[in-house]
Amino acid sequence: MAETITAALVIIGDEILSGRTKDANLAYLGAGLNRLGVRLTEVRVVADDQDAIVAAVNHCRAAFDYVFTTGGIGPTHDDITSAAVAKALGREFGRNAEAEAVLRGHYRPEEITEARLSMADIPEGAELIDNPVSRAPGFRIENVIVMPGVPSIMQAMFDGYKHNLVGGDPVQSVSITVSLPEGVMAAPLGQLQEDHAPVEFGSYPFVRHGQVGTCLVVRSADEGALQAAADSLRAMIREMGGEPMED
């Protein structure tokens, strides 16, 4: 049986919830984790509120193999993620000498402020994660991996650290488009799901150029099970008078 390694993402920031900022990290992280054989199975968006962050982190770290957080580790007053993670894990929180040295090596002496140095305040016992863009490090503590929300920095940090993650079998997918309404396929598609569990079937209706159709996606980490399910889906579509088109 294919091994499944799971992850959750906690996106932190009032600016995300208000709509002022559009999250650009979810798709990148989900795709990158899948290539490693880590399946992103839950995403939460929480405000810059310590209790909310603590609750989300504690729920996710107990339920998933990895927890990623993005946002809230900068130098301003509302960057409270690091302190909240320390509270969630019951760790002391304060200045990390290694992180401080990285920051002091990056800024000129006249540029060093207490606000900037506050980015070296992290939970006791955390492993630093290199930030090749702006130098202020992220960190990992137990199964919680804390990264910034700025997409270019988060992506560079993730790409530099991902080789440390232990994955399972990557989830593969087959996408088939058919010019049939979703509703007429609901019952037979449900039967296919029962026949081919635990392979997953997704159904996504659309209208293109006035033509109603459905994109059907089959997903599994087991290549043999995936192809068997896809073959059954193609046969079902043809039995209903449709013609499966591979995306």
pLDDT in tens, 98-157: 999 999 999 999 999 999 999 999 999 999 999 999 999 999 999 999 999 999 999 999
Half-sphere exposure of 213 (CA within 13 A, CB side): 15
What integer pLDDT is reported at residue 169 of this predicted model?
83
What integer pLDDT is reported at residue 1 of this predicted model?
47
158, 32 contact by CB (below 8 A): yes
Task: Enter the pTM of the model.
Answer: 0.83
Helix (H) or strand (E) holding 218: strand 211-220
